[in-house]
Structure 1
Amino acid sequence: MAPPMSASRFLDALRDEGLTVVEVGDWRTHNRNHKGPWGPVNGVMIHHTVTRGTDNTVRICRDGYESLPGPLCHGVIAKDGTVHLVGYGRANHAGLGDPDVLRAVVAEQRLPVDDEATTDGNRHFYGFECENLGDGEDPWPKVQLEAITKAAAALCRVHGWTQRSVIGHKEWQPGKVDPRGFTMGWLREQIADRLR
């Protein structure tokens, strides 16, 4: 459990991990903080976007939709591995999820099955949307998977978390399937290797 790092520290952490980062507009102050608190933060949540094309994906994740205003995450990880920062603070990415999962993330223990949606995840998680159609067929380029690993590891490194603080949306909220195309177990192994 920790207060969120500053926007500047967040940017530095990603760059220090070797990532190429693009700052999109007023990302440092673009948030949903007026809808509720952000923090304490407990982990990192990974999503896929169900979109095609980096420019389109970044625009949607920054602006959102009429029914779900942006930002929809903190960073968009494109197919080429570039991280586009679109917001900082509370973001509409996690939604309501399982309090038992949150307790497991805080304790860095094995995740239980997510069978409730009663806890505000937007308060507790950093979020990365990863450009992919999420159909199980759209490829995940190696450079993109490496960027996802680096981004999650960067935040874990700052907060002193292990790979167990990184979860997929599908592990948080019943009915969600993202990310699809790799397993979170595999991703956590990559993050653990990087943190060593």
Structure 2
Amino acid sequence: MADPLSADAFLAALRGEGVKVVEVDGWRSRNRDHKGKWGPVNGVMIHHTVTRGTAATVKLCVEGHGDLPGPLCHAVIAKDGTVHVIGYGRANHAGLGDPAVLDAVVAESGLPANKENVTDGNRHFYGFECENMGDGKDPWPAAQVDAIVRVAAGLCRAHGWGTTGTTSVIGHAEWQVGKIDPKGPGITMDAVRKEVAARLKAPAAKEPPKPPAPAGPPTYTVREGETLGWIAEAYGTTVAELQKLNPDIKDPDKLAVDQKVKLPG
């Protein structure tokens, strides 16, 4: 339990763990503080966005949608691991959740199953929205998961959390009945907490780990309605580069479901 970090200290915590940060214009004063108190903060909550493309994801999280005004988090974590800081203060990300889960987060004890949505989570958690469709098929690149671990470890380190456990870091599904995020493949909150705990045992390291040499070129499995343009945006490349890697693709707007598209290494 602690007062929220200052905006400068928040940035320092992320950058101290080697996170690549983009500051979105106006983030320091973008919040929902007029709707209630922010703090004491007790932990970090991870979400997925059900969106495609970094620019569209950031825009949505800044502006909100329907009856849920923005900001929808404090930062967006893109598929390439870049962290786009969009707001600071109370944000519409956690909603109501289980007070027993909050008690476990404060105590850094084992998380109980959530049973009721009655406690204001927007007050008590830093929120990170991660660019992912959340359908159980959209992959979570290693760079994105590494950034999740780093932002969580940075905030835990800054607040002194993680001395007895790492349940200061939870997923939205662990907080609020009816939520499923973050959903894999490629991510589980137990695995994230394990990696956060490992980072906290050593001083902050700014250099990202070197990935193992791949056995072959990475590929993406096409789903209905997807184009090379969307895949290029999602993975930080261009349609021209993807066509070079996939000369059999003649029309970038006509891909077959389950077709394998080679990605840059």
Q: Same fold (TM over 0.5)?
A: yes
Structure 2 letter corresponding to 1:75: A
Structure 2 letter corresponding to 1:87: G
Structure 1 counterpart of 2:179: 176
Instruction: List per-residue Cα deviations over 1:62-102 (Å, max 9, x = no partner).
Output: 11013100000000000000000010000000000000000
Structure 2 counterpart of 1:15: 15
1:179-194 maps to which residues of 2 (within 5 A)?
179-181=182-184, 182-194=187-199
Most deviating of 57-66 and 31-40: 57-66
Structure 2 counterpart of 1:144: 144
Structure 1 counterpart of 2:46: 46
More helix by share: 1
Structure 1 segments, 4+ long, off by >6 Å, are none
- Structure 2: runs of 5+ lacking an equivalent: 202-265
1:155-166 maps to which residues of 2 (within 5 A)?
155-162=155-162, 163-166=166-169
Taking structure 1 as the reference length, the TM-score comes to 0.99
Aligned mates of 2:146, 2:191 — CA distance in 1: 12
Per the TM alignment, residue 141 of structure 1 is displaced from its structure 2 partner at its CA by: 0.5
1:24-173 maps to which residues of 2 (within 5 A)?
24-162=24-162, 163-173=166-176
The answer to whether the aligner puts 1:5 opposite 2:5 as a matched pair is yes
Secondary structure of 1:164 counterpart: coil
Secondary structure of 2:69 counterpart: coil
Structure 1 letter corresponding to 2:91: A
Taking structure 2 as the reference length, the TM-score comes to 0.73
Aligned mates of 1:94, 1:142 — CA distance in 2: 25
Instruction: List per-residue Cα deviations over 1:148-170 (Å, max 9, x = no partner).
Output: 00000000000011121000000
Structure 1 counterpart of 2:213: none
Most deviating of 31-40 and 60-69: 60-69
Per the TM alignment, residue 176 of structure 1 is displaced from its structure 2 partner at its CA by: 0.2
Structure 2 letter corresponding to 1:55: A
Aligned mates of 2:109, 2:2 — CA distance in 1: 17
Structure 2 letter corresponding to 1:188: R
Structure 2 letter corresponding to 1:121: G
Aligned length: 196
Percent identical residues: 68
Instruction: Considering Cα pairs closer than 8 Å and 6+ residues apart, tell me whether 1 or 2 has the greater RCO.
Output: 1
Higher radius of gyration, 1 or 2: 2
Secondary structure of 2:12 counterpart: helix
Secondary structure of 2:177 counterpart: coil
